[in-house]
Amino acid sequence: MIHSGNVRAPDEELAMHYAREFYGRRQESHRLWVVARDAITELDDPDLLNPPFDRSFKRPGGYLIKHKLEAAKARANAPAGTEGSE
């Protein structure tokens, strides 16, 4: 779901018509979900919202390949015969 909104209606049938009119009339919607307000549950448990898993591999800084690429480029650009001649 990208966008959300709400409609107030006296019954389910009018709620469907209002939802189509407000959110579907410009062909912007692919799917509309119409549910009663009391059927919506809020998830506010911090343990469920922020699980204690280590997901550092998903962060861009998790992979330190930049230094390896720089070293490989330096080796590729080194003059012939200079490798290992210290």
Please check whether residue 46 lies inside any domain of the structure: yes
Structural domain for 56, as ranges: 12-77
pTM beyond 0.85: the answer is no
Please check whether residue 52 lies inside any domain of the structure: yes
pLDDT of amino acid 86: 47
The rounded mean pLDDT for the chain is 79
Sign of CA dihedral 5, 10, 11, 16: negative
Contact 62, 56 (CB under 8 A): yes
Please check whether residue 85 lies inside any domain of the structure: no
pLDDT in tens, 2-34: 777 889 999 999 999 998 888 888 777 788 888
Amino acid type, 36: A
Please check whether residue 83 lies inside any domain of the structure: no
Q: Give the mean model confidence (pLDDT) for residues 50-76.
A: 75
Please check whether residue 3 lies inside any domain of the structure: no
Please check whether residue 84 lies inside any domain of the structure: no
Q: What percent of the chain has pLDDT over 90?
A: 19
Please check whether residue 55 lies inside any domain of the structure: yes
pLDDT of amino acid 59: 67
Domain tally, the chain:
1
